[in-house]
Amino acid sequence: MTPIETPTHSITPSVTPALSPTASPAATPKPTPDTGISDAAFVRVLEYIPDAKEYLMYATKDNFTGKRIYDFQQTYLRYGTVKKLAAVVEELKGKGLGILIWDGFRPVSAQQALWDICPDTNYVSHPVTGNRSHCRGGAVDLTLFDLTTGKQLVMPSNFDDFSSKADRNYSDVSTEAAANAVLLETVMEKHGFKGYSKEWWHYADEKEYDVDDTFDPSIPVVWEANCDEYINLRRSANTTAKVLAKIYKGSTFTLLEWYGKFAKVEYKNKIGYVMSSFIKPSFTIDPDYQTEAKGAFLDALSIVEQTGAYSYEEMCRDINAICNKYSSIAKTEAIGRSEEKRNIPVIIIGNKNAKHQILIQGGIHAREHLTSWLLMSMAEYWCIYNITDYDDVCFHIIPMSNPDGVVISQTGKLNSSQLKIYQNDKKLKYTSFSQALYTEKWKANALGVDINRNFPAGWGENKDERKAPSSELYGGTAPFSSAEAKALRDYTLKYDFDVTISYHATGSIIYYEYGNKEPVNSLSKSLAQSVKSVSGYILATSYGVDGAGYKDWVMEYLGIPSVTIEIGCQEAALDKRELYSIFVRNYKVMPETIRWIVSNQ
């Protein structure tokens, strides 16, 4: 396998240090600030060793795969390992040298991704049967740099070089490279690390910790109750299950995993389930995982604001701002116009001629406008952290497929035709809502057509179909009779999409099938399982679910693997307090979809 070249922004080779071995090992200093935490706790390395530098190769595409492997930017290791590494840094500082870290803790999912690409135990540990030293939090890949010039020292090879030059037999490299590698090896071994024979850059703590298959630095660990008074900690993921404790507003707990509408958490040594709609990441430090939530990554966004009523005007403004700021990867255009002549924008992230094309759409039901906020937040986030680093991919994100309906739901205003629809629904006893609540719950477009019932797959077959325009459940006069459905159809047919994803609210579930067509049903189920792995949403069959939706059409007529993701727990329109958990559960859906496509191509 041909190694990639050293990145142009990496520190370039420079000086050769003199070897000066010490007669006896020095005492291992404790990193500051000294919190007295357990050696097994995960900590961010640079918080305790600020003199070190980091450039995580697998958080970029500057590695042998040419793709981004994991979703965080900072190095984490066990605290005990960091104490030893701090001793290394102190000794090297006396020689005018520092360390540049290329890799530290690696989630098991990242190990699996590497194995899928390179199933060779000489270079990649098997994700199940191998030692998986990086997954234990005690292994680090690193090199040396000159503290004065900031330049990297000459070493036997580049990182991830799979040739003989990378091994610890330095007879086939320059004297300068051999001396530098021996110095690194001498200091690392002196302070409690052992090297790997085939990689001069890899060192593992002599103390072997257990593989941690739950920790992921890209997911906040400490959460808090985000409620009016308290939330119930229940024995199981059921609102009728026994209450183990009351968790009062602002109280913190450790997130263990997501499960449907619930989060599995540990609170005061009790493990149970709480409703995920009433929690948010906390700024409190966890004793086992020394991480701060810092807004659960929403703080990274400078354009899309946190709001529970994300408007059409805000979306248009934000799309333009994102495309201006990230013009190298993001573009926008209109896929068509709504019944009231509003442009329906798409934000395109990546190259239109990329190998893989993915369509994601939301806001097709008016009252589900939090999906529009979510898709815009994900778009900005993955422009910041360049989603195209994962593969040759292009995302087509249509945040608001039904802008007219969203305006109705958010403003509460009905024109004369829409007012007649309301009055007719009341007459037919379809609703007993006040006009204000009726408009808030509006799902249809401006003409009273439920767009997600306006596609040909199963059109007219829904048992509860209404026969006239309504706020919901009316499929129109014919398939594609609505301007919005036509726009989605025409845009979908423009590209050879690998996958489509539709966002709805609510339920915290994933729909993945339609009819009996294969292999699209099986592929869609496989895609849904991948989405579940990062979101914790529960898979649901389409039995008894309305047809004539967008997903149904692309599966039945185009054979494209597709899923519908229902976000949130409460009734739509969703409350702003659900923003935090919804974003954390969904922002990794985009890279996970890429991984699924690559593994199934």
Residue 19 has pLDDT above 60, yes or no: no
Q: How many domains does the chain have?
A: 3
**Which amino acid is present at 100?**
L
Looking at the fold, whether 266 and 138 belong to one and the same domain comes out as: no
d(CA 310, CA 440): 14
Calpha distance 202→194 (Å, rounded): 9
| pLDDT greater than 50 at residue 122 | yes
Are 53 and 100 spatial neighbours (Cβ–Cβ below 8 Å)?
Answer: yes
Residue owning tokens 């400490």: 222
**Closest residue by Cα to residue 287 from 264, 269, 271, 262:** 269
CATH number of the domain to which 379 belongs:
3.40.630.10
Q: Is residue 556 part of a domain?
A: yes
pLDDT at 246 over 60: yes
Q: Is residue 306 domain-shared with residue 288, that is, in the same domain?
A: no
Residues 259 and 402 in one domain: no
Say if residue 235 is in the same domain as residue 174. no
- Based on the domain organization, do 152 and 265 belong to the same domain? no
* CATH number of the domain residue 264 falls in: 2.30.30.40
Q: Is residue 46 part of a domain?
A: yes
**With 80 as the cut, is the pLDDT of residue 368 above it?**
yes
Check whether 213 has a pLDDT greater than 90. no
Residues 321 and 383 in one domain: yes
Whether 470 maps to a domain, the answer reads no
Q: Within this chain, do residues 501 and 369 fall inside the same structural domain, yes or no?
A: yes
**Does residue 339 share a domain with residue 263?**
no
In a domain, 445, yes or no: no
Please tell me whether residues 261 and 385 are part of one structural domain.
Answer: no
C-alpha torsion sign, points 469, 475, 476, 480: positive
> For residues 272 and 235, is the Cβ–Cβ distance under 8 A?
yes
Helices (H) and strands (E) in the chain, counts: 14, 23
Give me the domain span that covers residue 75: 42-205
Q: How confident is the model at residue 20 (pLDDT cuts 50, 70, 90)?
A: very low
Instruction: Note whether 287 and 309 are same-domain residues.
Output: no
- Cβ atoms of 308 and 314 within 8 Å: the answer is no
Here the CATH number for the domain that contains residue 57 is 3.30.1380.10
Domain-terminating residue out of 205, 230, 249: 205
| pLDDT-above-90 percentage for the chain | 77
In a domain, 438, yes or no: no
Domain-located, residue 9? no
Rounded distance between C-alpha atoms, residue 382 and residue 377, angstroms: 9
pLDDT one-digit tens code per residue, 316-366: 999 999 999 999 999 999 999 999 999 999 999 999 999 999 999 999 999
Q: Is there a cis peptide before residue 411, judged by omega within 30 degrees of 0?
A: no
Tokens of 365: 């039901």
- The string of pLDDT tens digits covering residues 384-412 is 999 999 999 999 999 999 999 999 999 99
| 19 found inside a domain | no
**What are the backbone dihedrals phi and psi of residue 303, each rounded to the nearest 5 degrees, phi first?**
-110, -55
Question: Quick check: 598 and 391 in contact, CB under 8 A?
Answer: yes
Helix (H, G, I), strand (E, B) or coil at 482: coil
Q: Are residues 389 and 502 in the same domain?
A: yes
14 falls within a domain: no
CB 57 within 8 A of CB 159: yes
**199, 255: one domain:** no
Q: What is the pLDDT of residues 404-438, one digit of tens each?
A: 999 999 999 999 999 999 999 999 999 999 999 99
**504 contacts 564 by C-beta, under 8 angstroms:** yes
Q: Above 50 in pLDDT, residue 27? A: no
- Residue ranges of the alpha helices (H) in 94-135? 108-117
